[in-house]
Amino acid sequence: METFLGIDYPTLWYLVVGLLFSGYAILEGFDYGAGAWHLFFRKDMSRRIAINAIGPIWDANQVWLIIGGGALFAGFPVMYATMLSAMYIPFMLFLMLLVLRSAAIKFRSAEEMTWWRKTWDIVYFLSNTLIGFLLGVVLGNVLQGFELHENHVYKGGVFLTFLNPYAILTGLTTLSIFMTQGAIFLLLKTEGRLFARLTFLLKKGMIFFIVTFVFTSFYTLIYLPGVIDKFKENPVFFVIPILAFLAVANVPRLVSKKKYMQALIFSSLTMAFLLMLVAFQLYPVLLPSTINPAYSVTIYNAASSQKSLGIMLTIVLIGAPLLAMYFLFLYRTFNGKVKLDDTSY
C-alpha cells in the first residue's frame, strides 16, 4: 500500500474528508446557526440585517458541503453509497430544506408585503433549525452503527428508525452548537439594539449547548460503552476531549471581554475538537455494522483505488491553496458590520 509521510492513502483521505467536514460545520455552522435565531429577532429590519450578514458568503460556505460530499463519493464510494441510501429519508429532507433555505434567502426581501416576508421568515427559520438538527441526527446514527449485513447491505428500518433517542440528542447538540456559533458571528456583524439582543440570546444558546452536551456525553458513556475503548488504549488522546472542554469554557470568557472574533475561533475549535473525537473513535471504521463488526464499512474496504486516491490527493494539494486564497479575499472584502445598500437582499 502506498504511503505519503508514512501515512497510507486511505488514512490521508480520511483526514481530508474530516477536514472538509470540519470546515463545513464551522462555516455553515454560523450560517445555519444565525438562521436558527431568525424568529427571535422581532423587527423586519433586524431580520434583514441578519440575512445580509451571511449574504455575500453563504454561497461560498456551501462549497464545503459540495467538496465534502464529492470527497466522500470520490474517496470512499462504498461509504457514500451505503450511508446515503440507508439514510434516505433524512438526506432527502436535508436536501429539500437546503433548497427552501436558498429560496428564502433569495426571495424574502424581494417583496414588501408583510405576509410574504413573514412566510419566508418561517421557512428560513425552520429550514436552518432542521438542517442543523438533521446533520446531528445523521451523525448520531453513524455513531450507533447501521444494520449492515454481508457486503454492507442495509436491512434496517427505512422510514422513522433514524429518529431514535440518541440521534435526537446528537441532533439537538449539533443545533445548539450551531446556534452558539451563529450568535457569535452575528455579534461581529451587527450594531445597536440587535447587537444587545444577540448578547442576551448568546447566553441562552450557551446554556442550551451545555445542557445538551452533558446529556449526550452521559448517554454516550452509558449506552455506547465501546466509545472509550480507544481512549483506554491510547490515553494520550484524552487530550482531545479536554481541549474540547477548554475551548467551550473559553467562549463565555472571551464574549464577556468583548473579544468576539476570538470567541468565534474558540467555538469553531470546539466543533473541530468534537469532530476529531468522533473521527478518532471511529477510525478506521466509517460505518459500524450492528450485526457483525466484520460487515462494517471501513476506510480500507470502502476506499477507491490507490491510483485514484493519489490523483485526488494531487488535486487537493493544488486546489486547496487556491480555494484558501479565494476565501481570504472574499472574507476581507466583506469584513466588518453589515451595511445595507441597493444590492443587499
Partner 1 sequence: MDTEILARIQFAFTVAFHYIYPPLSIGLGLLMVVFEGLYLKTGKKQYEILTRFWLKIFAITFGIGVATGIIMEFEFGTNWSVYSKYVGDIFGSALAAEGLFAFGLESTFLGILLFGWNRVSPKVHFISTIGVFLGSMFSAVWIVVANSWQQTPAGYHIVGEGLNARAEVTDFWAMVFNPSSVDRIIHVWQGAFLSGAFLVLSVHAYYLLKGRYVEISKKAFKIALAVATLVSLTQLASGHSSADGVAENQPAKLAAMEGHYEPSAAADLYLFGWVDNDSQEVTGIGVPGGLSFLVHQDFEEPVAGLNAFPKDEVPTQVNAVFQFYHIMISIGMFLIGLTLYACYLWWRGKLFEKKWLLRIFVLSALLPQIANQVGWFAAEMGRQPWVVYGHLKTSDAFSQEVSSNQILFSLILFFVVYTILFLLFLYSVNKKIKHGPYEEAENPNEFLKYT
| CA-wise closest residue to 177 among 143, 225, 144, 139 | 139
Q: Which is nearer to partner 1, 64 or 273 (CB)?
A: 64
Residue-wise burial string across 33-62, b where 16 or more C-beta atoms lie within 10 A, e elsewhere: bbbbbbebbeeeebbbbbbbbbbbbbeebb
What is the residue type of 173?
Answer: T
Q: What's the min distance (Å) between Cβ of 49 and partner 1?
A: 14
Among 15, 99, 221, 246, indicate the residue that binds partner 1 (CB under 8 A). 99
CA distance 283 to 258: 38
Residue-wise burial string across 70-108, b where 16 or more C-beta atoms lie within 10 A, e elsewhere: ebbebbbebbbebbbebbebbbeebeebbebbeebbebb
Q: What's the min distance (Å) between Cβ of 179 and partner 1?
A: 23
The verdict on 163 binding partner 1 (CB under 8 A) reads no
The verdict on 80 binding partner 1 (CB under 8 A) reads yes
What count of other Cβ atoms lies within 10 Å of the Cβ of residue 110? 10
Q: What's the min distance (Å) between Cβ of 18 and partner 1?
A: 15
- The 46-75 site mask, x for binding partner 1 (CB under 8 A), equals ---------xxx-xx-xx-xxx-xxx-xxx
User: What contacts 17, CB < 8 A, 6 or more positions away?
Assistant: 68, 71, 72, 75, 76
CA distance 249 to 267: 9
The verdict on 265 binding partner 1 (CB under 8 A) reads no
**Only segment of 164-172, 173-181, 280-288, 329-337 that touches partner 1 (CB under 8 A):** 329-337
- The 280-319 site mask, x for binding partner 1 (CB under 8 A), equals ------------------------xx-xx--xx--xx--x
The verdict on 342 binding partner 1 (CB under 8 A) reads yes
Q: What's the min distance (Å) between Cβ of 72 and partner 1?
A: 8
Burial of 217 (0-12, 13-18, 19+ CB in 10 A): middle
**Residues near partner 1, by CB under 8 A:** 55-57, 59-60, 62-63, 65-67, 69-71, 73-78, 80-86, 88-89, 91-92, 95-96, 98-100, 102-103, 105-107, 110, 151, 153-155, 158-159, 304-305, 307-308, 311-312, 315-316, 319-320, 322-323, 326-327, 329-330, 333-334, 341-344
